[in-house]
Structure formats: structure tokens, C-alpha cells
Structure 1
Amino acid sequence: MTSFPSLGEQEALSYLWPPFGHDSADLDLFRSSILDFHAHHGRRFAWRETSDPYRILLSEVMLQQTQTSRVEPKYEQFLSLWPDFSSLAKAPLDELLFHWKGLGYNRRALNLRKSAALTEQWGWTIPPDEKAISSLPGVGKATTAALLAFAYQMQSIYLETNIRRVLLTCFYPEAEHVKDKELEQLLALLVAGIEDVKSWYYALMDYGVLLKALLPNANTRSAHYTRQSAFENSNRQIRGQLIHLLADTGAKDSREIVSILSRFDEERILSCLADLQKEGFVQESGGVYRIPRE
């Protein structure tokens, strides 16, 4: 279930009121309310049915700024092609980027493959060690916490956009410029009373998804909120089209590339090509650009 068709707006918002305080009674009431919501309306995804660090890292990376409806088929496809860290580490980059198409932010795919290669030192897995996990390319604070919680049921402090929305709505309904440090301290209090950490964080995320559909975005009241820049006609759009052009149709010289992407300025195209080359996404030889296989 990827939506909440049986849940009316009034029932959904009943889990919120009155706003909660930080005393033990309110924390207990909030926990029971969120877990009750999840018991009746929680969503199900394949990556929630596993504790395999590979599958959890794969899903977490794919889900960054990407809707679950786009991730679900890609997640299954990746597992069929590369079922573990060892196979993903050996995946040709051009194939990886070809199958990543539709998820956006191609650097995530490159970092994922680099991370897979680094897990060889741990026997092709990821240990329950915060320092080790955070050493992987592109793995930040939230992804580290997710791996600790979802693979190992550790009481990590997992603050992502949907969870932030729930905490701001339920505990800080009028506050502005709320810092993540304060929310993390609240999360630490909440998770300390939880046995099934994995289900707890899934419950918070699901309720955050529901609130997004029902209420104005509470995350704008976060001290760390920034509006995402427009994608249309951005360098990010040019980079994505360059990668998928070369991954889908093979090597091309710069004149052909500029001709195909003629809606964009030539200088910007060549600048993006140069950046992609520096970052390892693209190789150039004799004036011809291609996605490297290795």
C-alpha cells in the first residue's frame, strides 16, 4: 500500500491534537498515537521487509529526493541485475547509469558503486558501526542513521524530511526557525522508549507523507529549510541529459552532442561536459565523449 485511501482527513489529523509537550506523558501519548496510526495505515515496500544492509542502502540512496512510485520498479530492477555489494561493485558505469535513468541526481549512482566496492573490506557487507558507515561516499548523517536503525535495530537519530515535518507539526506548531539539533534531541527522547526502532521510523515517515498531503509544509519553519532550485533549463538538467544521451545512444563527438542538445547554449553544454569528465562520469578520447565502462 503506497497511499492511505481508507483514511479520512479528520481521522488523520486526530493523531495530532492537542499539540504535544516534552514531558514523559506527552511523549508516551505521541508514541502510542503514531504506532497506532502505523498499525492501521502503514505502507508496505519491499525494502521494509529486509534487514540486509545492501538492500537498505540501495533503497535509501534511491529514495533521496525521489518519490516511492519511481523508486519501486527501479529497486526491483537493480536487485535483479546486481543483487549484492559484490555484483554492484563490478557493474559497468555505462550500464549503471543507463538503468539509473529516471531517478535523477546521477552522482548518487556513482557514489553507490564506490560504496559497494569499499564494502569488500568488511566481507561485502556494512558493519553496525557509525564511523564505518559514514566513511562511505555520499553517505551522510541521515543515511548512516537509517542503516543503523533498519539493518540493526539500533536507536539511532534518524531525521529526514518527513520525520522533520511530523515533529514540527506535532511539537512546534507555531515555532519558527527550529533547529535540527533541537529536533534531534526530541527524537533521542522518543526513540529511547521504542523497542522496534525500524517500525517506529517507518511510522513517523508514513505520517509525514500523509501530513504533506493535508497541511501546509511545516518544514518551511525549519531553520535549515531551503527551497529547491528550478530544474528546467538548469545545469543539472543539462548534465542529466548529457549522461543519458551517452548512456542510451553511445559515444559522440562534441559537435554532435551540441547539435542534439541545441535547446541549450553551447558554452553551457561544453562546460557541463568538462565537469562530468572531471567527476569521472564521462571520458574523452580524440574528441569523442563516452560513459566509461569501468
Structure 2
Amino acid sequence: MRVASPVSPDGLAEFRGLVLARGAELYRDLPWRRTRDPYEIWLSEVMLQQTQTTRVDGRWQRWLSRFPTVGALAAASPADVLDEWQGLGYNRRALALHRAAGELVAGGGALPADARALQALPGVGPATAAGILAFAFDQHAVYLETNVRAVFLHELFPGEGAVSDRELLPLVDVTCPADASDPADDPRTWYYALLDYGAYLKRTVPNPSRRSSGHTRQSRFEGSHRQKRAAALRVLLAHREEAAGGPTLEAISAELASEEEKSGRSPLSAPEVRALLDELAAEGFCRLVGDAWCV
């Protein structure tokens, strides 16, 4: 069953009934759905950005064992935070989490239940803020992420291409329950249904998100600039407890050359490695102390 767009009030009611039914049928009992702790939900939302659910399950629990509270995260060193993040990709997310935790502790330690205040934190955009509001506080929120987008495109815009988020956002807004007065149809339940139905659609039909005007294919990781940045950071973290504080440019270049050669790629030159390290340093990942590069 599909509902035509533009969507009538009756069509939206039909759409909501369909999504709730599919959500109940396809519900995934994920560990971060068993909590309402804002910190734990915030962490899951950040980890799930551009990372598969199967990779996050396990890593989320391990992170919370190491940094169980906002205060524990704020008190940790950036090196320990980055070390725990390894393998999840997009290391900027870890640094943003750490910086945001520091700001929260300075302001009292609790995540705010307000979209504007949440988005003022490092690394928290509209979707992450909406996820925290819906899943931790059961508030009405406009939560548009890839699986949610897939459902709206599949059901309300069948066969249409180049559909913009500007067209989708009002529909996401109007279909989200106003509050948690109905425990069978509150914001939390509604968005879980959308997420699970969207994940199902992506496995069973051509990805509806490709019909979004903002859709871009993720670039190849191996051999990319992102891969080389990640490799350099791994080298820095592996040597972070050395007496000198970290490896020299020459040592880093040698380790990166060995890794690139094993993968059948040409090694970076020393100037290229230095440029990579300078880039990471400018973003707060490392610093040069004497001849040593330290995290």
C-alpha cells in the first residue's frame, strides 16, 4: 500500500497506521532501546551516524563500561577517548563527544531537553538533537535520518526522484506524535517504527534514499585521504605511552610506508606525512612536542 503525495489528512493517517504496524512486526531489540538515559542515547545516536548497527552493538556497551557517565567522559584524556573509538570511523565524532562532555560538566553535567541547547553542543546537529529528544525525553521532534527518509520516500513519493528534505521535513513534523500521552504511539515508539521499517526496506527493495536530492554515494575508504588520516592516528595512539611522548616524523613515516606497501599502495613521502600530521594537529587530534608527535 502506498499513499500519494501531496498527502491528505486521511492519507497521513493511513501512512501512520501502516508504519506502526510494520514497526511492531519488524521491531529490533537493540541495547540502546532499553534505556532512557540521555547520555547513553546521545552516545548511540553519535555512534550510529554513518556506521552500521551491527558494528555499534558491542562497541556502545564497551564505551559505557569505560566512560559510564558524562563526567567520566569529560575527565578522560583525548587519547583514551580516541583509542576507544578506533574502528568506528570518522574520528571527529569522538573528539566532539569529548568536547561536548566537557561543556556539559562545566554547565552542571546534564543533557538539556531542548533542541536549541542540544545543537549548541559540539557535534550535535538537528538529527542528533531530535533523536535525543524523542528517545530520551519522549518529546515531539523532527528526526530525519537515512532510514526515516527511506520510509517517507518509499511510501509517500513512489517513483519520484530528486525529492528534497525540505519536502520531507513538514511531513516528518506532522506525523510525529505531539507527546507521550499514548504509550503505544509516542515519539519514541513512532521513530523506532520508522527506523525498523526503513532498515527493512533497504534490505528488500532498491534503496529509496537514492531518490533523495541530497543522496551521495559514500566514497571508497581504502586508499583515500580518510584512510591515511586514520592510519596516522592509529600509529600515534599505538605509541602514546612512550617515554618521549610519541613517535617522530621519521618513525611515523616508516610505519605508514610499511602499511601502504602491504596493501599494494605507494608509500607517502615524508613531506606528505608531515602535511597529514599538520592537518590532524590543526583539528586537535595531536600536537608536536619537540621532535615527538603526541596525542
Q: Could you tell me the TM-score, scaled by structure 2's length?
A: 0.89
Given the alignment of the two structures, is residue 222 of structure 1 paired with residue 199 of structure 2, yes or no? no
Q: Measure the CA separation in 1 of the matches of 2:248 and 2:235.
A: 12
Say if 1:169 and 1:218, in contact at 8 Å, map to a contact too.
yes
1:258 equivalent in alignment to 2:243: no
Aligned equivalent of 2:243: none
Is 2:186 aligned against 1:196? yes
Q: 1:240 aligns with which of 226, 230, 244?
A: 230
1:40 aligns with 2:35: no
1:21-40 matches, within 5 Å, as: 21=5, 22-40=7-25
Is 2:291 aligned against 1:283? no
Residue equivalent to 1:100: 85
Task: Look up the match of 2:278.
Answer: 274
Q: Find the aligned partners of 2:105 and 2:251 in 1 and give their Cα distance.
A: 40
Alignment of 1:6-21 (within 5 A): 17-21=1-5
Retained in 1: the 8 A contact 2:177–2:190? no
- Residue among 96, 106, 118 paired with 1:133: 118
Partner of 1:149: 134
SS in 2 for 1:252: coil
Letter in 2 for 1:284: L
Alpha-carbon distance in structure 1 between the residues aligned to 2:26 and 2:150: 18
Deviation, 1:160, is 0.2
Letter in 2 for 1:255: E
Per-residue deviation, 1:41? 2.2
Q: Name the aligned partner's letter for residue 10 of structure 2.
A: A
Q: Distance in 2 between matches of 1:243 and 1:99?
A: 13
- Gap runs ≥5 in structure 1: 1-16
- Contact persistence 1:20–1:30 (CA under 8 A): no
Return the offset for 1:248: 2.2
Cα contact 1:252–1:290 (8 A) shared by 2: yes
Q: Distance in 1 between matches of 2:161 and 2:78?
A: 44
Q: Name the amino acid aligned to 1:131.
A: R
The equivalent residue for 1:11 is none
Distance in 1 (CA, whole Å) between partners of 2:152 and 2:272 is 41
Output one character per residue of 1:243-268: Cα deviation in whole Å (capped at 9) or x when no partner.
11111233211111111111232243
For 2:234 and 2:125, locate their aligned partners in 1 and report how far apart those are by CA, in whole Å.
Answer: 26
- Secondary structure of 2:222's counterpart equals coil
- Segment drifting more, 120-129 vs 280-289: 120-129
TM superposition score normalised by structure 1: 0.89
Please report how far the alpha carbon of residue 122 of structure 1 lies from its aligned counterpart in structure 2 after TM superposition: 4.2
Q: Distance in 2 between matches of 1:189 and 1:143?
A: 19
Matching residue within 28, 35, 58 for 1:73: 58
- Report how far residue 20 of structure 1 moved: 4.3
Distance in 2 of aligned mates of 1:25 and 1:108: 41
Q: Which amino acid aligns with 1:206?
A: D
Q: Give the Å deviation of 1:192.
A: 4.1
CA distance in 1, matches of 2:4, 2:40: 35
Please give the secondary structure, in 2, of the residue aligned with 1:138.
Answer: coil
Q: Which consecutive unaligned segments of at least 5 residues does structure 2 have?
A: 180-184, 241-245, 261-266
Deviations 1:51-105 (A, max 9, x none): 2110111111111100111111111111111111111001111111111111011
Query: Deviation string for 1:2-59 (max 9, x for gaps)?
Result: xxxxxxxxxxxxxxx2344511222122212211122222001111111211011111
Please give the per-residue CA displacement for 1:217-249, whole angstroms capped at 9, x wherever unaligned: 211211111222221111111111111111123
Root mean square deviation of aligned Cα: 1.5
CA distance in 2, matches of 1:20, 1:192: 21
Task: State how far apart, in whole Å, the 2-side matches of 1:193 and 1:36 are.
Answer: 19
State the distance in 2 between where 1:192 and 1:127 align: 20
Aligned equivalents of 1:18 and 1:68: distance in 2? 27
Question: CA–CA distance in 1 between the matches of 2:139 and 2:289?
Answer: 48
Q: Aligned pairs, how many?
A: 275
Distance 1:31 1:193 in 2: 14
